[in-house]
Chain A
Amino acid sequence: MVRHLIIGNSAAGITAAEILRRLDGRAGITVVSDEAEPAYSRCLLPDFLAGRKTGADLRIRPADFYAGNRIDRVSGRVLRVDPRSRQVLLENGGCLDYDRLLIATGARSAFPPVPGLSGPNVTGLRTLADARKIVQLAGNVRRVLVVGAGFVGLETAYALYNRGLEVTVVEKMPQILPGQFDATAAGILQRDMHAEGMRIILGAGIKEVLTPSGFLNFFNKSAQGVLLDNGDRLKADLIVVAAGIRPNVELVQDTGISTGRGITVDQFMRTSVPGVYAAGDVAETEDVVTGRVGLTPIWPNAVSQGKTAAWNMAGQPRPCSGSLGMQNAVEFREIPSIAMGITQGGDPGLEVVTAGQPGQNVYRKLVLRDNVIVGMILVGDISGAGVIGALIRKHADVRKFKDDILRGRFNYGYMLAEMRNAG
């Protein structure tokens, strides 16, 4: 009997466990994680913050999932992986043996090196425990400062705003959602946040967090808050840091398992050490568009990588289809929007075409290289986004359909009809 050990009980880990069981009825499957809850969706934490969902509502599998699939759960924090003895060492002194190991430890909130950015009123939003802490604090505070206007920061801002708090978002870059949305799309979404009543400060970083006494010294007022690098000060009773993530790779340090920012894997999710696999936010994979190796820390990629890892751990070799960077900013009031792949032009080989009426919250953008779509932004109307995603993944030549795609008239029927004509 093969013993599979999975570190991490979230998107990548739980998918791998489920598929391993499907592929091998007899294997031993153990999932160890340092969060006590049954697997839940981090993506729904903003709904929990806003009070729309309870902790139990966040679970991603039915209540009988672990027992029904004969998956053993171990609660505990893994300190180290030891590939030579094929064991992992737990913080509580215990250890677990494995034949094949999947590292699906995900990531944690990254905190920028700002003096004073710690303490009881400063937190990230990554875990249910973080969310519970924020909800608890939210009862006694008035002003919230969100550091970072990426996806998680803005969702947090909306959620806390909906709880009735005063929310300010501070972003170093000159636009919100600087990751994958361009200035036009960001402008549409930002206008919407302003209309709601949230404050957004762009192009400014946090220089220092001021304690009540520090604030008194600086400004002769008793309050807590922050000093921005442009000299402005802001009062804040609660600071939520949403300034990116850091993969949880510490447990493989000095083990021979190669790492960059995350754990390096090949297309079979194998690390540099035999028998050890990695998947999800902790893993570095090749991007289907750019060909570059890096993190693509989103839910669908974690699931798909967990699946690929499971097939290969079960001895049925199968490559991963490759990761595609995508962002889906839907919470932002009623304007759905999606970005995929390379969304900024600039490169001389890239062609950029846009359509829509940004003033009416509708915007479409395609980025192409030699008539192959390498990226897109859809704001307002996202129907059929996955069809375009498939064209990106397939590196399909779209010269015939470019205009239809841009105008939102394209659909899978075009491809069916093409095939019919060709066949």
Chain B
Amino acid sequence: MKSIMIDLDACNGCLTCTLACAAAHSRSGSIVGAMQEKTPARIFIEAVNGRAVPVTCRHCEEPACAEACMTGAMRKDSLTGLVSNEGHEQKCVGCWMCIMACPYGAVTAHPRERVALKCDGCPGLPQPACVAACPNRALRYEEPAFFAAGRSRDAACSAAQAS
């Protein structure tokens, strides 16, 4: 299954991904509309000692957020592999158990509504909006095995895995 791969050396912190993410999740579908609607982004560019580091959901094989979810709203789709708290029979109540559980800090509280907010993988799009928008190819949508070695992503992730 493809997932979002991050090439740290290629990211220059331009924030295009965050704008594209907000646009894709806004009603209008545009960046300007997203700004007017105040649609929050679901991918973050963190500043770490002067360096830009993108952080977003990995759609884990065994997602800690889904395990912690007390309503059943957060679930991994067995077909797409995407982890989301939206579009299911069970609803998110904003208890933040997922925020407490996610070892990547990829789930946040919606700034205005009482729901948890995370990357939904842009179902329906050929590739996630953040990846499509990245001008530096710092974000790529690939099979993990194809991702260039030495990009450190997997080492980093396994070191942080909660389990």
- Residue ranges of A at the interface with B (Cβ–Cβ < 8 Å): 15, 41, 43-44, 47, 57, 59-63, 299-300, 303-304, 307, 321, 326, 328, 330, 336, 338, 340, 382-387, 389-390, 393-394, 411-420, 423
CA distance A414 to B55 in the complex (A): 10
Q: Which residue of A lies closest to B72 (CB)?
A: A60
Q: If A60-B71, A300-B68, A413-B48 touch, does A386 touch B152 (CB 8 Å cutoff)?
A: no
What sequence of 0s and 1s flags, for each residue 97-110 of chain B, a beta carbon within 8 Å of any chain A beta carbon?
11111111111110
- Number of residue pairs across A and B with beta carbons under 8 Å? 146
Q: A394-B162, A416-B48 are in contact. List 11 more A-B contacts (CB 8 A).
A: A300-B67, A328-B95, A382-B99, A385-B100, A386-B99, A386-B105, A412-B104, A412-B106, A413-B44, A416-B53, A416-B156
B98 and chain A: residue at smallest CB distance: A386
B162 touching A299, Cβ below 8 Å: no
Tell me the smallest distance from the CB of B56 to a CB of chain A, in Å.
10
- A300:B163 contact, CB within 8 angstroms: no
Q: A387-B105, A413-B46, A416-B8 are in contact. Are A43 and B55 (CB under 8 A)?
A: no
> Are A321 and B162 in contact, with the CB atoms below 8 A?
yes
CB pair A417 B100 closer than 8 Å: no
Inter-chain contact B70/A43, CB cutoff 8 Å: yes
Prevailing SS type, chain A contact patch: helix
B36 at the binding interface (Cβ < 8 Å): no
In the complex, 8 of the A-B residue pairs with CB atoms within 8 angstroms, ordered by the A residue number, are A44-B71, A59-B89, A300-B101, A383-B109, A411-B48, A412-B105, A413-B53, A416-B55
Known: A59-B72, A307-B67. A386 touches B101 (CB 8 A): yes
Complex interface residues of chain B between 13 and 58 (CB less than 8 A to chain A): 44, 46-49, 51, 53-55
B residues in contact (CB < 8 Å) with A? 6, 8-9, 44, 46-49, 51, 53-55, 62, 64-65, 67-68, 70-72, 88-91, 93-109, 150, 152-153, 155-156, 159-163
Are the CB atoms of A44 and B156 closer together than 8 Å? no
Q: Which residues of A contact B64 (CB under 8 A)?
A: 300, 386
Task: Check A417–B53 contact: CB distance below 8 A.
Answer: yes
Residues in B whose Cβ lies below 8 Å from that of A417: 8, 48-49, 51, 53
Q: Min CB distance, A56 to chain B, in Å?
A: 10
Contact B105 A384, beta carbon cutoff 8 Å:
yes
Contact of A47 (CB < 8 Å), options: B68, B93, B104, B153: B93
Closest to A57 in B: B91
Q: Top 4 A-B pairs ranked by shortest CB distance?
A: A413-B53, A413-B46, A390-B103, A419-B156
- With both beta carbons as reference points, the residue of chain B lying nearest to A419 in the complex is identified as B156
Contacts of A393 in B (CB 8 A): 162
Please name the residue on chain B nearest to A336 by beta carbon: B96
Contact between chains at A423 and B150 (CB < 8 Å): yes
Contact B155 A412 (CB under 8 A): no
Alpha-carbon distance between A170 and B22 when the two chains are bound, in angstroms: 47
Once bound together, how far apart are the Cα atoms of A57 and B70, in whole Å? 12
- Cα distance A346–B144 in the bound complex, in angstroms: 46
| A57 neighbours in B (Cβ, 8 Å) | 91
Do B55 and A328 touch across chains, with their CB atoms under 8 A apart?
Answer: no
Q: Which residues of A contact B54 (CB under 8 A)?
A: 413
Q: Which of B8, B47, B93, B102 is the one whose CB lies under 8 Å from A386? A: B102
**CB <8 Å contact, B72 and A389:** no
* Cβ B95 vs Cβ A330 within 8 A: yes
A330-B96, A412-B55 are known contacts. Are A387 and B104 too (CB-CB below 8 A)?
A: yes
* B160 / chain A contacts, CB cutoff of 8 Å: 387, 390, 394, 412, 415
Taking a contact as CB atoms under 8 Å apart, the answer to whether A390 and B162 are in contact is yes
